[in-house]
Amino acid sequence: MRRRFLMSVILFVFITLLFFPIMHSDSYSAQGEAVSWPQFLHDARHTGKTPFGNVPTEYKVLWKYKTEDSGFLRYIVVNKNNEIYFTLRTSGSTVLYMLHPNGSLKRKVVIEGDTVGHSPAVDENGTIYEVSAFATPFPHMQPLPRKIIAYSSNGDMLWNITLNKSFADLGDPVLYRNRIYISSYGESLYAISTSGKIIWERKIHPTTIPSIDNNGNIFLCSGNYLYSLSPSGNIRWKVEIGRTWWASIPAIDKYGNVYVANENGTLYRVNPDGSIKWKYSKGGHDPVIDDERRSLYFLSEHFKDNKDNIVLYSLDMNTGRIKWRVTLMTCEYPNWPSLSFFRTIGGDGSVYISGGFVKNNSGFIYAVSPNGDIKFHMEGLEGVLGGYTNPVIDKNGTIYIGGTIYAGDTNGILYAIKGYVNESKENSTNLWLYYTIGIAAVLLVSAAVIYHFKKRK
């Protein structure tokens, strides 16, 4: 009886450890129906961070897609089925491209009336939201309609509403739960239901798109201030941070702290009550944040002796002090790079930066570890992979970077890059580790049970 009990305990431990690698495998299925990359800078807090993706040690281009139309590729989002959407700004309109996960064209749609090019947004139901705003024809000097449009996942228009007739441009749509928030720059902020009804309008003269914290509170810049609004659109507080016409989009951490840079590049951390915690005055434009590691990242360019040094900074989110900085490249005039305005943080905390050189029509992407080590970079990709297209990561870990080909006619180009962590070596190492631990555990349990029974005798 005792022997049978002993064998049962050992067998149970062995089976548990046998399936331990499966139970703890790096699977994204636990994310369920999560949208891979739903909107500009990934989420309504505009962290720029995704839970997906690890820095590869080996990588390859899965596919690349060149647009049929001439124009400038602007923004990329990815739905829960890993279908890819991006906008292409042409000479007279904006085209919304829809691609299958394998890079083949699903459909393209001309955005009615748009000549600016904005980021689409996609919700968990597959509905795509886009704004439409004419670049105002100054010779005519008349206000033109500004709209928001909803499309099905197949590209069929579901609804559209006119927000106003104005000279002002519209900001990219921001999704939060069942609402869409739109800034009409210099005029109003709108809250709109996903069924196409205007919930409220606040004339607050925004200079940035809004960011939304986990409680639904809204943060945006206007004039010389950072504003906080309640979910119903009432002003909670405002704090002076300097001129904000070219301010960065506020980024919000999980505690409700706000990180924003004014147009001079002075970076502030503002507490949830509107008090200033710290500021960093040496250039901190367009920050992205990693809550888990309490790290904030931004790029800076240092010009000296006709050379341009591209430097990535990491700041401690709690103190505003520099953790580290790393020089990605040094370029000599006139071959200065065009960089993506915004960075992307992967699931393991690595930071991705894309860009390119107009002079030789070539692009690059870098990945930097949370400790400041350059993990990998790719160069010589066709097209200038910068401007408004930051790297995007889907829930399979595929990286998408886009840009514009400057050769003859300008065309958009999109790359899908798959990273590998040398799976054969990684798997063999993991199996060796798991089964070494398993055998050791079985021996320890066996020894403990034998000792227990001997002691009872």
Closest residue by Cα to residue 164 from 192, 123, 133: 133
Mapped onto helix, strand or coil, the DSSP state of residue 22 is helix
The single-letter DSSP state of residue 315 is: E
Closest residue by Cα to residue 205 from 232, 160, 235, 230: 235
The reported pLDDT for the residue numbered 282 is 80
Q: How far is Cα 253 from Cα 448, in angstroms, rounded to an integer?
A: 47
Q: Which residues contact 2 (CB under 8 A, 6 or more apart)?
A: 453
Q: How far is Cα 132 from Cα 149, in angstroms, rounded to an integer?
A: 7
The reported pLDDT for the residue numbered 426 is 46
User: Taking the domain 32-421, which CATH number applies?
Assistant: 2.140.10.10
Q: How far is Cα 385 from Cα 340, in angstroms, rounded to an integer?
A: 7
> What are the tokens at 168?
């002002």
- Other C-beta atoms lying within 10 Å of the C-beta of residue 221: 32
DSSP 206-217: -SS--EE-TTS-
Q: How far is Cα 457 from Cα 452, in angstroms, rounded to an integer?
A: 9
Closest residue by Cα to residue 46 from 186, 219, 192: 219
Q: How far is Cα 281 from Cα 315, in angstroms, rounded to an integer?
A: 12
Cβ 211 vs Cβ 172: under 8 Å? no
The reported pLDDT for the residue numbered 442 is 59
Instruction: Answer yes or no: pTM beyond 0.75.
Output: yes
Tally of CA atoms within 13 A in the half-sphere of 423 that contains its CB: 6
Using CB atoms within 10 Å of the CB of residue 337, give its burial: 0 to 12 exposed, 13 to 18 middle, 19+ buried.
Answer: buried
Closest residue by Cα to residue 98 from 111, 84, 78, 112: 84
Cβ 181 vs Cβ 171: under 8 Å? no
The reported pLDDT for the residue numbered 441 is 60
Q: How far is Cα 152 from Cα 126, in angstroms, rounded to an integer?
A: 7
Using CB atoms within 10 Å of the CB of residue 63, give its burial: 0 to 12 exposed, 13 to 18 middle, 19+ buried.
Answer: middle
pLDDT tens for the chain, residues 1 to 457: 555 555 555 555 455 544 444 444 333 333 345 889 999 999 999 999 999 877 666 778 999 999 988 888 888 999 999 999 999 988 778 899 999 999 999 999 998 766 677 899 999 999 999 998 765 555 455 667 788 999 999 999 999 999 877 767 889 999 999 999 999 988 999 999 999 999 999 999 999 999 999 999 999 999 999 999 999 999 999 999 999 988 889 999 999 999 999 988 899 999 999 999 999 988 778 899 999 999 999 988 777 777 888 899 999 999 999 999 999 988 887 777 777 667 899 999 999 998 888 777 888 899 999 999 998 888 888 888 766 678 999 999 999 999 888 766 688 999 999 876 554 444 444 555 555 565 666 566 566 556 555 555 5
Q: How far is Cα 188 from Cα 404, in angstroms, rounded to an integer?
A: 32
